[in-house]
Amino acid sequence: MIKTLAAHIKQYKTASILTPLFMIVEVILEMMIPLLMASIIDDGVEKGDMHHIYMVGICMVLLAALGLLTGVLGGKFGARASAGFAKNLREAMFNNIQTFSFSNIDKFSTPSLVTRLTTDVTNIQNAFQMLLRMFTRAPSSLICAMVMAFSINARLASIYLVAVIALGICLFFIMFRATRYFKQAFPKYDDLNESIQENVSGIRVVKAYVREDYETEKLKKSSGNIYKIFIKAEKILTFNAPLMQITVYSCILLISWIGARMIVVDDLTTGQLMSLLTYCMNILMSLMMLSMVFVMVTMSQASAERICEVLNEKSDLHNPEDPCYEVKDGSIEFRHVNFSYHKTSEKPVLQDINLSIRAGETIGIIGGTGSAKTSLINMLSRLYDVDSGQVLVGGRDVREYDMDTLRNQVAVVLQKNVLFSGTILENLRWGDKDASFEECRRACRLACADEFIERMPQGYDTYIEQGGSNVSGGQKQRLCIARALLKKPRILILDDSTSAVDTATDSKIRTALREEIPNTTKLIIAQRISSVQHADRIIVMEDGRVNDFDTHEELLKNNEIYREVYESQMRGSGDFDEKGGEQ
């Protein structure tokens, strides 16, 4: 874990080394000041030597100034190193997430990934800064102060040693108890983020069903769980302060009492006593800082493990050693394909699929909910790999292609259409970043999107809100179709992507696609038979299998499922989830 995280310090190694060096120099300078203070009292004040007082005073000012400078530099480089480390971690995690296949993404929930990129990285950033600064400063301060104290008077300094050992044992038990709760707290942030994300993304549904109170209670519950865990941990940590105060004041009383008696018999000077009292505070405060560092590091341990899980996750889809960079045509072939989302599933999602589709054909895919229509087309762009069998595009197994090349030639308009914040033109150019304005207009004309775009005051420069919230469902679908067309793909897949447009517009889109891009293989998934009846052939899916594959006319004659649904839809009711004969 440490090796994985340390690999991302990268260009901030220099700052990470300079920070502890400056902190050590600052501590050494600070530790010299009490000795000079003792000299002022013993050799200056008591002897009335003003010259000595001035000279030592100037030295103290210079040491304090140098200590301030090194402290500032330590803080500057520490902030740069920790912030840079956090930046590198976020970039590395985000870049690795981009390489994930769908099966990799399925292992992590979206709220969990957001928590890991934000809260968990912030915890690591804070812990790293504390390690560079406090973890260097506290031990070095403790050791220097202890050495100085023993050099002044070993008998009195032994009081510190006993106090440090006793306080250290107590702080260890406090940390051990507290960190157990902190480890439980951070995974709870996933639940909190999930509650917030669901509420924000589904705010229209929440308001439509007047469920604000219910959502508020859900958030209170998630937030309350974190609150309860932190309260338990903080209650334990509250013992830190009284323990420190008891130890500090006990040491001061003992040193003052024993030291005063030693001064009387000339075994100790007044200046030395003052120095020992100063070192007392340094030693015990160093121990307090160390305890907080250990608590912070232990708190961040759970975050570090969660971050490493994302960094170490590798995509289960890889390019072959010698990939093919050209898709010859849009022909498709399935050879005895079986597929499951989970390897332990008893029943495959796709079972023994055998299909052959010629380049340029328009193929309809129809079937009930859960019949694996979307799973079938996911195989073409290699979003998942088959368990057995082969999927061929352009006469070659999809596993032989460079994945970027394959996915650029297989354009998919998914069921859930996604637009990004930006202008319409910027969204369209996701299909081809170098597309000219005229190419964008042509794609919009084919998708029948030009009709509403040109009615907008700003036309193609109209700003799209996040998720496309300021356009209708049908408009969003047409923009997504236009975006896919700009890729100039060999294969175009429309996954129920005209469900929100009216029948007339649906017909226009199908006609335009058939006439304008005849060489592109078109796969249209739909629930309405009217959307696919003009296709060259139609695949009827049922329970993960191909029930039939033929023309509309032949299916009406020979396929009972297709015929029943067609007749029920012609009467204005029924679909593949509710067979016509059962109404």
What average pLDDT does the segment 446-467 reach?
86
DSSP helix/strand/coil, 319: coil
Average pLDDT over residues 134-140: 84
- Count Cβ atoms within 10 A of the Cβ of residue 173 and give its class: 0-12 exposed, 13-18 middle, 19 or more buried: exposed
Strands 350-357 and 332-339, how do they pair?
Answer: antiparallel
Cα–Cα distance for residue pair 417/479, rounded to 1 Å: 9
Residue that finishes a domain, picked among 312, 342, 372: 312
Is residue 180 pLDDT above 70, yes or no?
yes
Same domain, 281 and 403: no
> Is the residue at 223 inside a domain?
yes
Residue the block writes with tokens 């940590």: 237
Same domain (yes/no): 209, 268:
yes
The candidate with the shortest Cα–Cα distance to 320, out of 408, 396, 412, is 396
Above 50 in pLDDT, residue 580? Answer: no
Is 136 among the domain residues? Answer: yes
With cut-offs at 50, 70 and 90, classify the pLDDT of residue 232. confident
| Same domain? 239 vs 367 | no
Distance of CA 426 to the CA centre of its chain: 25
- Residue 106, domain member (yes or no): yes
Number of H helices, E strands in the chain: 22, 12
Q: Please check whether residues 404 and 514 belong to one and the same domain.
A: yes
Report whether pLDDT(14) > 80: yes
Tokens of 415: 């069921």
Select from 312, 342, 357 the last residue of a domain: 312
Q: Is residue 285 part of a domain?
A: yes
Element (H, E) at 523: strand 521-526
Q: Do 158 and 281 sit in the same domain of this protein?
A: yes
In tens, the pLDDT along 477-512 reads 888 888 888 888 899 998 887 776 777 787 888 888
The CATH number of whichever domain residue 134 belongs to comes to 1.20.1560.10
Give residue 186's pLDDT band: very low, low, confident or very high (50, 70, 90). low
Instruction: Please check whether residue 47 is in contact with residue 105, taking contact to mean a CB–CB distance below 8 angstroms.
Output: no
**Can you give the pLDDT at residue 219?**
84
- Is 275 contained in some domain? yes
* 285-324 confidence digits (pLDDT tens): 787 777 777 777 777 877 888 899 899 988 878 888 888 9
Query: Number of folded domains in the chain?
Result: 2
Q: How confident is the model at residue 256, as a pLDDT?
A: 84
Residue 295 in any domain: the answer is yes
Tokens 């197994």 correspond to what residue?
Answer: 397
Together in a domain, 276 and 339: no
248 pLDDT band, cuts 50/70/90, is: confident
Banded pLDDT at 260 (limits 50, 70, 90)? confident
Query: Are residues 369 and 400 both part of a single domain?
Result: yes
Largest pairwise CA distance in the chain: 120
Mean pLDDT of the chain: 84
164 occurs within a structural domain: yes
Q: What pLDDT was estimated at residue 573?
A: 52
3-class DSSP assignment, residue 342: coil
Give yes or no: residues 127 and 183 share one domain: yes
pLDDT at 581: 39
Asked if residue 239 has pLDDT above 50, the reply is yes
- Enclosing domain of residue 271: 2-312
Least confident of 41-45, 98-102, 145-149, 155-159: 41-45
Examine the pLDDT at 582 and tell me if it is beyond 50: no
pTM: 0.71
Residues 129 and 276 in one domain: yes
pLDDT of residue 393: 93
> What's the pLDDT at 76?
92
Please report the sign of the dihedral spanned by the C-alpha atoms of residue 430, residue 436, residue 439, residue 440.
Answer: positive
Say which range, 35-39, 227-231, 555-559, has the weakest mean pLDDT: 35-39
Are 275 and 363 contained in the same domain? Answer: no
Task: State residue 575's pLDDT score.
Answer: 58
* Domain CATH for 568: 3.40.50.300
Per-residue pLDDT of 403-412, as tens digits, reads: 888 988 998 8
- Percent of the chain's residues with pLDDT above 90: 18
Q: How confident is the model at residue 83 (pLDDT cuts 50, 70, 90)?
A: very high
- Do 299 and 351 sit in the same domain of this protein? no
DSSP characters over 348-393: -SEEEEEEEE-TT-EEEEEE-TTSSHHHHHHTTTTSS--SEEEEEE
- Residue holding tokens 């236009």? 482
- 319 and 385 in contact (C-beta within 8 Å)? no
Q: What's the CA gap between 499 and 101, in Å, rounded? A: 27
- Residue 465 is classified by DSSP as P
- Find all residues with CB under 8 Å of 394, minimum gap 6, and list them: 327, 328, 329, 330, 331, 359, 409, 490
Q: What is the pLDDT of residues 85-128, one digit of tens each?
A: 999 999 999 999 888 877 777 778 777 888 888 888 998 998 89
